[in-house]
């Protein structure tokens, strides 16, 4: 539990605004919110959990973005599905805001790929003449894993959309799809994403 629930709630609400209005990821948004509110000088203040922030994000979207967010989410999921189909051999799973339904046009798409050879996804992109950048993120086990970032222009969203391909070993897939205490998974396979897209149509 956060050491001060009131402060944690303020941080969660501010982080939610940053996530929706600036397209920030949860971790950076929480840290920036804490800094903006000047709470770091108040002692040992823990940041709120992602579940608390997600609740605030959903409330913010319902209040300020109800007219635009559903259409933007569908457009992002369609892009995600196209790339999942292109990368089907790597058992792609959609994660992040586009998966959990809180994404707006400012959010990036995060796909987790599970590969026998960590370089195989790069080889496929090179073969398809897709431009990409290589970076790294913290993986499922807390280690550093490669992430390949590409962009796609989408008319419906009025600009470029970044697609991040996080590269995991094939053996990591089993642990990646475990449900949380609410019975939800943090990522979904191509069949689930296709069902979401078809339902929106």
Q: What structural domains and CATH numbers belong to the chain? A: 5-64 (no CATH), 69-200 (3.30.460.10)
d(CA 26, CA 32): 10
The pLDDT tens digits of the residues spanning 28-70 come to 999 999 888 875 555 556 789 999 999 999 999 999 999 999 9
With H, G, I as helix, E, B as strand and everything else as coil, classify residue 134. strand
Per-residue pLDDT reduced to its tens digit, 130-177? 999 999 999 888 899 999 999 999 988 989 999 999 999 999 988 777
Distances, alpha carbon 53 to alpha carbons 22, 31, 65, 73, 85, in Å: 15, 12, 17, 19, 31
On whether the CB atoms of residues 122 and 139 are closer than 8 A, the answer is no
Reported pTM: 0.88
Residues of the chain above pLDDT 70, percent: 93
- Inform me whether the pLDDT recorded for 2 exceeds 60: no
Q: How far apart are CA 161 and CA 72, in angstroms?
A: 11
Place of tokens 């973005």: 65
């Amino acid at each position: 539990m956060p050491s001060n629930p009131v402060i944690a709630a303020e941080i969660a609400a501010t982080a939610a605004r940053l996530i929706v209005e600036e397209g920030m990821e949860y971790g950076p948004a929480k840290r920036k919110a804490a800094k903006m509110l000047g709470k770091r000088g108040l002692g040992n203040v823990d940041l709120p959990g992602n579940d608390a922030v997600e609740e605030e994000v959903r409330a913010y979207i319902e209040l300020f973005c109800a007219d635009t967010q559903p259409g933007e989410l569908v457009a992002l999921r369609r892009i995600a599905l196209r790339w999942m189909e292109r990368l089907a051999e790597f058992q792609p799973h959609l994660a992040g805001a586009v998966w959990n339904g809180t994404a707006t046009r400012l959010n990036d798409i995060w796909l987790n790929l599970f590969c026998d050879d960590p370089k195989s996804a790069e080889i496929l992109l090179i073969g398809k003449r897709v431009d990409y950048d290589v970076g790294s993120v913290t993986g499922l086990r807390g280690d550093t894993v490669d992430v390949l970032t590409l962009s796609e222009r989408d008319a419906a969203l009025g600009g470029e959309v970044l697609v991040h391909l996080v590269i995991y070993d094939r053996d990591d897939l089993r642990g990646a799809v475990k449900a949380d205490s609410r019975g939800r998974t943090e990522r979904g396979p191509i069949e689930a994403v296709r069902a979401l897209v078809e339902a929106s149509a």
